[in-house]
Structure 1
Amino acid sequence: MSAMVNSMRLDDIYRSLEADIREVERELTRVIQTDHPLLNESANHLLVAGGKRMRPVFSLLAGKFGRYDLANLKKVAVPLELIHMATLVHDDVIDNAETRRGQPTVKTKWDNRIAMYTGDYILGQALSLAGEVEDPRVHQVVSKAVTEMCLGEIEQIRDFYRWEQTTSRYLRRIKRKTALLIAVSFHTGALVSEVPADLTRRLHLFGYYMGMAFQLTDDVLDFTGDDQSLGKPAASDLRQGNITLPVIYAIHCADGRIRNPVLRYVQGDHSLSAIDGAIEAVRNSGGISYTNQLAQRYLAKGFALLEKMPACHARDLLEQLARFIEQRSY
């Protein structure tokens, strides 16, 4: 039932932007086309697998608060989705991931070298299109976001299996890895649509809160979802050594019966029994509830910001998107 509610909410939101989203999809396909057969196939591989396209949708919705011009909005909505796609291709190499969205990853279908250059190509095409925007503020916002995302990725790699990391360190990492690009989706959509500065700042901050809540929820679903709904193995983050908030809670805030099985795995015992024991311990630790509660706090801040925005259909749709994040099960 929960998945059905989530689907209905997204369908309602996307239906109101249906024609423009189709145009964004066409532009995504156009931008990554190349005469090189192998690169063309690998670049299109993840695009064909689909996705929620939330970042372009956020840019379009931000544009509804100003002078809505799809031709301008595509120049930020499409690059932001391509940047996201490029990071996924690179992430799958780092994580040695076999599947993404239920399909073989680029590195699985080809190899690590093809995957890395495919990600680089997609990123290059994204920056090339964003460069067509006349407003230099957009270039500054996007380039800073890419830099911060790289820092977040480096931090994640450095923190693999580092069980002693703090909650604040984790939150800074997910801000860079996830929340920032969502905030930038709102920000750049507002900039190219000439949204007033105060409202642009609120949209950016709303995007940050939604991004933090989205990633926190994602880290919960990694333990509560199944392989089919996730499109990848359950608890894949922990299997790869990525210490997320439910795991941090289990290590630092639970008794020895919970803490010890988790420490056994992250400190070097990667046997099947060790990972199964660690997953079960995290699920029983209270860390999932704790992470959900923190996500709710970010969502509450987002809802409070919405009340300060002009009453309009776009604001109603933003509220529905926030409800989707609040209740999502995939």
Structure 2
Amino acid sequence: MSESLEIKTLQDRLDRIQELEEFTENCKKQLDKIYETLGWSRDYKREPMEQCPYDPNHRVPVRSMEKHKASCSLRKMGYSAEEQAEMVDPSVCYENSSVRSFTMDKSTQHQVILKARSAAPLMRMEGVFWQGQYSGQPVDVPQNHKRTTCDLTVADRLALYDHVAGVFSQEKQAASSSNDDLYVDLVSKLQKDDQQNEPKTHLELMAEMRDYKRRRQSYRAKNVHITKKSYTEVIREVINVHSGELSRQWREEEDEESTKSELSSLRHRQDERRSASSESRHSHSRRHRSRERSRDRESRKRKKKERDSRSPDDHHHNRKKKKKKKKEEREMEK
């Protein structure tokens, strides 16, 4: 009896194992069909994952970590998905242009605002921002116009603008000062070659030799910005300076030509207006003369009609009156 029970339990276990194997085979077939429809493969290797620095619950592949960090940081600052979709990185538009950009971080922004606030007056004054109009707490750098107007005051925005403009002006002055030496030296040399047609005196030659020796002794110390550069870089800077000067001259010539063309077009328009006004005056005077002539003709016709309408007796009576009047005048003269 016991042996029969053991055989039965063993058979039940084998049946269960068979059912599980069939179930797993069926599941594998279904998975293979899903992989086939999606175009996936079982041999796909999982990419290495990294943890997001802004949210520890986020694990992202390494290849898309930078993109995720940008969107996650904006989400942490309170920007919605619609606002992120409207944001565009403008750096692509200025890659091949001379437009410079400035990246502002939170600490720099707060320092600039505090510096402007400390320089402002304590009390309210007309036409000047006072300390109460500046932000006291550090604010995240706004990423769109809406956040700029909401998070920063007018005084804060003006202080940031002055700071960025000052940084750019300093960079421009530094770049121009580095190129001034090259440009001025070349221009002065060309001018000397053109002007010095006469032979130099002994004193001038001695002075040039003295300056040449001094320049050679202090050349490595003072002209470091030239000595550290290669010959190609120096020539490139010279070409850039001269091309900039030529472009400036061409622009001035184009501006002069455009102003001349505008003046000539204005004069042409004024002449046309004058001719049109003179023609209108002539036509007006002609119309006036024709009207006066027509009025004279009408008045003559009326007088003629009146004469024709008079009777011969009236005409005879008028004659007698005229004769009588002349006779009286002669008597009075006598």
TM bin (shorter chain): under 0.3
- Bigger Rg, structure 1 or 2: 2
Taking structure 1 as the reference length, the TM-score comes to 0.22
Q: Which has the higher contact order (CA 8 A, sep 6+)?
A: 1
